C-alpha cells in the first residue's frame, strides 16, 4: 500500500513479481492519483495490473506518455489505424484482413534489446481474451540475480551482449522481408549483461537470448553459454503466469523482467490486445555507473 494523494491498495500476484490494483481508474493517474506513487509501486513489483479499465486508444496513449515517449514498433503494418504508436496483437480477421499480428511475443524475451535505446516499459491492454490459454508469463531477472554468488556477479559485470534484430526476425516462419528502412532502424547493438536501473540504482541482470549473437569479453562459445544458462535459470525459477481478463491494463519495467506469450486455440477463440512501449535510455552498465551500486 502506498500513500500519495490517494491510498493505492496493491495485491501481490506472485512471490517473485507483479502487483494487482483494482481500486483506481488509470485515467486518473497524474491528476487525482499520484504518478510518483504508481511509479514507486512499479519499481517495487516490476509489473502492475490495473483491472477493469475502459480506455479509448487515445487514453491508452495518454497513459503511456505518463511514463515517457512512446516508441513505435518496427513492424508498422500492424499498427492500429490512425495510431502508429499502438500495435495490435490479434488473430482476428475481418473482411479478409488481419486486425493485427498473431505471432508477436512468443518466446521468452525482454522488449527491444536490439535497439540502442531499448524499451523502458511495455503496456498491454486487453479487449478480447480467450477463455483458456493465451496467458503471458513473466520472470524477474532481479530476483534471479540476487541469488547469484559474488564471483558470478563479478564475472558478468564487464560483459556486454550483442543483439541483432535481423537474427531475431529471420527465425520467423514465412515473414515478409524487412524493408531497407526497417533494416536501417535496427543495426546490431551491444548492452551490458549487468544493468543499473536509472531511477532506483538497482543492479540486476539484463539478458535476452533469441536475438543474442555473442558476448563481448566473454568468448563466443562461453559467453553465449553463460547467457543461455542464466536465461533458463531465471525463467524456470522466478516466474509469474498472468491469466488475462478483459480490460486488464498491464505495465512492466523491461529493465529487469522477461516475458513470453503462450499458445491458445486460434481457430476457436478470439484475442485482441493493444500494445505500446516507452523508449528507454541507453542501458547503464556496472562499469559505466559513476559510483558502483550494490544490488537492492
Going from the first residue of the chain to its last (296 residues), give the mean pLDDT of each consecutive group of 10, the final group possibly shorter. 64 97 95 95 98 98 97 80 94 88 87 92 97 97 97 94 78 65 76 95 94 79 88 97 98 97 95 96 82 47
The pLDDT of residue 196: 96
Q: In the chain, where are the structural domains located?
A: 2-288
**H or E element in which residue 126 lies:** strand 119-128
CATH superfamily of 2-288: Clavaminate synthase-like (3.60.130.10)
The pLDDT of residue 46: 98
> Rounded CA gap, 110 and 101, in Å?
18
The pLDDT of residue 218: 66
Q: Which parts of the chain fold into alpha helices (H)?
A: 35-45, 57-65, 141-146, 150-156, 165-169, 180-185, 220-237
The pLDDT of residue 176: 67
The DSSP 8-state label assigned to residue 210 in this structure reads T
Q: Which residues contact 58 (CB under 8 A, 6 or more apart)?
A: 83
The pLDDT of residue 5: 43
The pLDDT of residue 72: 81
> How is the beta sheet containing 160-163 ordered, strand by strand?
189-192, 160-163, 212-216
| Residue in the block written with cell 566473454 | 218
Amino acid at each position: 500500500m502506498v500513500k500519495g494523494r490517494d491510498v493505492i491498495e496493491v495485491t501481490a500476484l506472485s512471490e517473485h513479481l507483479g502487483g494487482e490494483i483494482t481500486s483506481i481508474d488509470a485515467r486518473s493517474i497524474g491528476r487525482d492519483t499520484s504518478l510518483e506513487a504508481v511509479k514507486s509501486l512499479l519499481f517495487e513489483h516490476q509489473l502492475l495490473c490495473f483491472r477493469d479499465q475502459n480506455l479509448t486508444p487515445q487514453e491508452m496513449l495518454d497513459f503511456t506518455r505518463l511514463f515517457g515517449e512512446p516508441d513505435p514498433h518496427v513492424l508498422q503494418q500492424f499498427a492500429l489505424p490512425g495510431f502508429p504508436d499502438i500495435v495490435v496483437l490479434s488473430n482476428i480477421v475481418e473482411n479478409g484482413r488481419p486486425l493485427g499480428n498473431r505471432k508477436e511475443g512468443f518466446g521468452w524475451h525482454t522488449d527491444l534489446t536490439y535497439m540502442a535505446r531499448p524499451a523502458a516499459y511495455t503496456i498491454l491492454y486487453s479487449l478480447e481474451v480467450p477463455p483458456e490459454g493465451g496467458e503471458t508469463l513473466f520472470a524477474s531477472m532481479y530476483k534471479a540475480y540476487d541469488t547469484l554468488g559474488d564471483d558470478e556477479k563479478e564475472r558478468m559485470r564487464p560483459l556486454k551482449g550483442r543483439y541483432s534484430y535481423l537474427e531475431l526476425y529471420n527465425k520467423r516462419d514465412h515473414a515478409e522481408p524487412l524493408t531497407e528502412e526497417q533494416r536501417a532502424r535496427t543495426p546490431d547493438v551491444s548492452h551490458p549483461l549487468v544493468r543499473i536501473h536509472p531511477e532506483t540504482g538497482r543492479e540486476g541482470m539484463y539478458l535476452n537470448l533469441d536475438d543474442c549473437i555473442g558476448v563481448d569479453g566473454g568468448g563466443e562459445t562461453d559467453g553465449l553459454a553463460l547467457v543461455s544458462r542464466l536465461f533458463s535459470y531465471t525463467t524456470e525459477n522466478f516466474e509469474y503466469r498472468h491469466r488475462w481478463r478483459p480490460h486488464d491494463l498491464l505495465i512492466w519495467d523491461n529493465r529487469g523482467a522477461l516475458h513470453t506469450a503462450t499458445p491458445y486455440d486460434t481457430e476457436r477463440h478470439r484475442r485482441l490486445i493493444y500494445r505500446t512501449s516507452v523508449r528507454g535510455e541507453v542501458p547503464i552498465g556496472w562499469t559505466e555507473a559513476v559510483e558502483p551500486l550494490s544490488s537492492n
